[in-house]
Every structure is written in structure tokens, then in C-alpha cells.
Amino acid sequence: MGSVVLFYYFQLPTMQRKKPDKEEALIKARTFCNYRDRCHQEVRDKLYKMGLWKRDVEAIMLQLMDENLLNEERYARSFVRGYFSTKQWGKRKITYALRQKQIHDRLIQIAMKEIDEEDYVKTIDRLIEKKMGLLKEGAALERRTKVMNYLVQKGYDYSDVKARLDQKPGAGR
């Protein structure tokens, strides 16, 4: 008797969950896309997670695109602006993240134009100053290497960082 109750207890959550029909899924997908811009892969994953078939997923995706709720170019532009301004990611890291989300390279190139070159250089300078300020101890060359590694990890090109570091007095060479 006890084992039967235990079996039903663990089976209950999956038995109560029902697969939404196409209309319910469309409503949920609209809500999901209205919250913020989404890429196709995020929406597709969400729909498959709901338990929908490929035919229904593709139909809902087309409907969302027709309603302009799903637009990869708009998503990519928004992603680039957001991650550059809030997290100060460099172009390489942003490009890599967009590729992970299966955004086409042509759209990535278009979206990367959202980053103003002057702002890009100012951000590199600001990050160099910030990191140098935190690294008070150690030889100048050691600090320079740490700053270089930090900025490359954030997605900035080695050559861009090196050029900016070479212009800084006291950065060590």
C-alpha cells in the first residue's frame, strides 16, 4: 500500500501537466516575445519545451514573424547595444554570443554597426583605467599583462587593447 501511494506521489506532477493546443501556445509565445526581443532559437526552444510538434512550432514562428513580434535583426541590434553598454563586452564576445544563439553572420555584421567606434575606444580606455586602478601591487609588466588578459576575456581584440595600452603612461612595456 505504501509503495503504491509513493508511486502516485512522484507521478502526479507529470500526469497533471497537459500539452497546450496550438492557440494556447501562440498566446504564450506572444507573451514571451512581448516581454523582450527574442531570437528564433529561444522561441523555438520554448515551443518545443511546451511539447508541440514541429509543424505547429513552425506555424507559430511564421505567425509571430508576420505580427513582427519575432525579428532577428531587431534582436541582434538590441543584444549588441545592451551587452556593449551594460556589460562592456567587446565585439568578439558579442559576436560569439550571437553565434551561439544561431544568428546569421550577415545579421551579426549589421548589428555590430550599432557600436560607435569612438565609444568602443572610450570603453577600452575606461576599462584599462579601472583595472589599472585595482592593480596597485606588482611590476608594471605584470599589471599590463593582467589588464591585457582581462580585456581580451571581455571580448576586445588584442591589437586594439595593445594599441591603447601603449598610449598610456605608466602602463609598462
Note whether 138 and 72 are within 8 A (CB): no
Judge whether 2 lies within some domain.
Answer: no
pLDDT of the residue at 171: 59
The reply to whether 124 and 159 lie within a common domain is yes
Judge whether 173 lies within some domain.
Answer: no
The pLDDT tens digits for 100-156 are: 999 999 999 999 999 999 999 999 999 999 999 898 888 888 999 999 999 999 999
Of 66, 81, 103, at which residue does a domain stop? 66
Judge whether 4 lies within some domain.
Answer: no
**Residue range of the domain that includes 158:** 117-166
* Three-state SS annotation for the chain: CHHHHHHHHHHHHHHHCCCCCHHHHHHHHHHHHHHCCCCHHHHHHHHHHCCCCHHHHHHHHHHHHHCCCCCHHHHHHHHHHHHHHHHCCCHHHHHHHHHHCCCCHHHHHHHHCCCCHHHHHHHHHHHHHHHHHHCCCCCHHHHHHHHHHHHHHCCCCHHHHHHHHHCCCCCCC
Judge whether 104 lies within some domain.
Answer: yes
pLDDT of the residue at 19: 81
Least confident of 4-8, 17-21, 143-147: 4-8
The reply to whether 34 and 58 lie within a common domain is yes
Task: Check which CATH number belongs to the domain holding 155 and give it.
Answer: 1.10.10
Crossing angle for the helix pair 158-166 and 140-153, to the nearest 10 degrees: 140
The reply to whether 162 and 130 lie within a common domain is yes
Residue 89 Ramachandran class (φ > 0 left, ψ -120 to 50 alpha, else beta): beta
pLDDT of the residue at 18: 76
Note whether 107 and 74 are within 8 A (CB): no
Judge whether 152 lies within some domain.
Answer: yes
Res. 6: pLDDT tops 50? no
Judge whether 9 lies within some domain.
Answer: no
Residue 36 Ramachandran class (φ > 0 left, ψ -120 to 50 alpha, else beta): beta
Quote the number of domains for the chain. Answer: 3
Judge whether 5 lies within some domain.
Answer: no
pTM for the structure as a whole: 0.84
Judge whether 55 lies within some domain.
Answer: yes
